[in-house]
Amino acid sequence: MQFDTHLFGNVEVNPDQIIEFPHGLISFESNKRFMLIHEAITGQDPVSFTLQSLDDKTLAFQIIDPTALGFTYELELSDEEIRLIKLEKPEDAAILLVLFKQEDGAAIRLGANLRAPLVLNPKSRLGLQKLMHKTRPNITLSNLSATAA
C-alpha cells in the first residue's frame, strides 16, 4: 500500500510491518498505526529511525536506541502492559527513545525523552509508551544532548 508522508513523500507500506500502539502516544492518542523509516547509509547500521504515523501524514518522530547514547533502561511493565503488547519474554522487547529539539536563540540542541520510552514487541508489532513517574537511580546516562549541525 502507498502512503504519502510529509517528510519522505510517497512511500510503500507493507501491511505486515505496521506497528500498532493501542493507546497511541502521549498527546497523540488518536494516532495508533505507525511505520519505521530509516535512511540507509552504506556500511552503517541505522542508529535513528523515523516513526511515521499512518493516521496523520504530518506526524513523525525521530527515535533512537538508548544504547546509541551510552545507556540502558531497566523497566518494569505491569501485567496489563505485557498483555497489551503480547510480550512473551522480556528479551523480546525493544526500547526506543523519542528525540526532541530545543531551540535557544541560534543554538539548536537535540535531546531524548528519558521519562517516556517506547516499548515495542517486534514479534506482535505492538507497542506502548511507558511514562515513568520516577526514573530509577541505576540508569547510566552519558552524552544525552548533542548540538545539531
| Tens-digit pLDDT profile for residues 95-116 | 999 998 888 888 888 888 888 9
Closest to 49 measured CA to CA, from 19, 73, 84, 71:
19
pLDDT value of position 136: 55
Closest to 114 measured CA to CA, from 103, 93, 99, 104:
99
Domains and CATH numbers, the chain: 2-147 (2.30.290.10)
Q: How confident is the model at residue 45 (pLDDT cuts 50, 70, 90)?
A: low
Q: How confident is the model at residue 44 (pLDDT cuts 50, 70, 90)?
A: low
The full DSSP string for 45-65 is: ---EEEEEESS-TT-EEEEE-
Contact between residue 23 and residue 126 where contact means Cβ atoms under 8 Å apart: no
The three cell numbers of residue 78 are: 505491569
Closest to 140 measured CA to CA, from 65, 72, 80:
72
pTM attached to this predicted model? 0.81
Closest to 46 measured CA to CA, from 38, 54, 55:
38
Torsion of CA 10, 42, 70, 66, to 10 degrees: 20
Segment 56-75 shows an average pLDDT of 87
pLDDT value of position 149: 43
